[in-house]
Amino acid sequence: MFSYLKLLIILFFTFFLNFTLISNTSLASKTENASSIVHKLIERIHSIQETKYTEEEKRTEFLQIIQTFFDMNIIAKASTGPYWRTATSNEKKRYTELITELIADVTASQLGDISKIEFQLQSSTPKGDKMVIVSGELLVPNQSKSKINVNWRFSTPDSDVPKIIDVEFENISMLVAQKEESVAIIRKNGGVFSALITAIEEKLRK
């Protein structure tokens, strides 16, 4: 009887230790993965900045970057708040395409003409078990503010590659700001989701 109890205790502790070790290793690998993805992203931006692209080529390159490194499905869903559920599947698809293009356009106009940005990693920390936040400073030469605090929020599902779902500059979440804009536009137009699509199409045409 006593030896059974002893065996059970040993088995329990072995299981507990293994579980703790595995989950810690998995968390550590998620945080490392996320920070290495940020470095890859910065390298890709460097290569665009160092190559003489036309404006259109630059825009295409940034579009590819956004599609590769960002989870646009989550971003599209989160940036429309409660109105996502009111949209038809065609509207959801169109909005996801347009918001991807809009982000690429804005990023190309912000970063395309800068000589070389750098990222200094400060930390990579798990946020719950499905997200990681990579924090650091973005060094942007020849700009009025040459050091910008930035947090990259990653979605880190166990079965997939981590992808960026939000970027915070100086503690201001771009996704939260985008959501407020989207909701304001939809509300101004009587809750019609397609009004947001029209607004982005107009913005992209300018």
Q: What is the CA radius of gyration of the chain?
A: 22
Determine if 117 is a binding residue for other proteins (CB under 8 A).
Answer: no
State how far the Cα of 28 lies from the Cα of 25, in Å rounded to an integer. 5
Determine if 180 is a binding residue for other proteins (CB under 8 A).
Answer: yes
Nearest distance in Å: CB 168, other proteins: 7
Nearest distance in Å: CB 136, other proteins: 17
CA 200 from chain centre, in angstroms, equals 20
Report the number of secondary-structure helices (H) and strands (E) in the chain: 6, 5
Determine if 89 is a binding residue for other proteins (CB under 8 A).
Answer: no
Q: Which stretch binds other proteins (CB under 8 A): 14-22, 35-43, 64-72, 193-201?
A: 193-201
- What residues are paired with 133 via a beta bridge? 125, 153
Question: Residue 27 or residue 74: which is nearer to other proteins going by CB?
Answer: 74
Q: Among 41, 46, 84, 117, which residue interacts with other proteins (rule: CB under 8 A)?
A: 84
Determine if 194 is a binding residue for other proteins (CB under 8 A).
Answer: no
Q: What are the helix (H) ranges across 51-143?
A: 55-69, 72-78, 89-111
Determine if 171 is a binding residue for other proteins (CB under 8 A).
Answer: yes
- 48 CB-near residues (< 8 Å, 6+ apart): 58, 61, 62, 65, 112
Positions touching other proteins (CB under 8 A) are 74, 77-78, 82, 84-85, 102, 106, 109-110, 127, 131, 143-145, 153, 165-166, 168-173, 175-185, 187-188, 190, 196, 199-200, 203
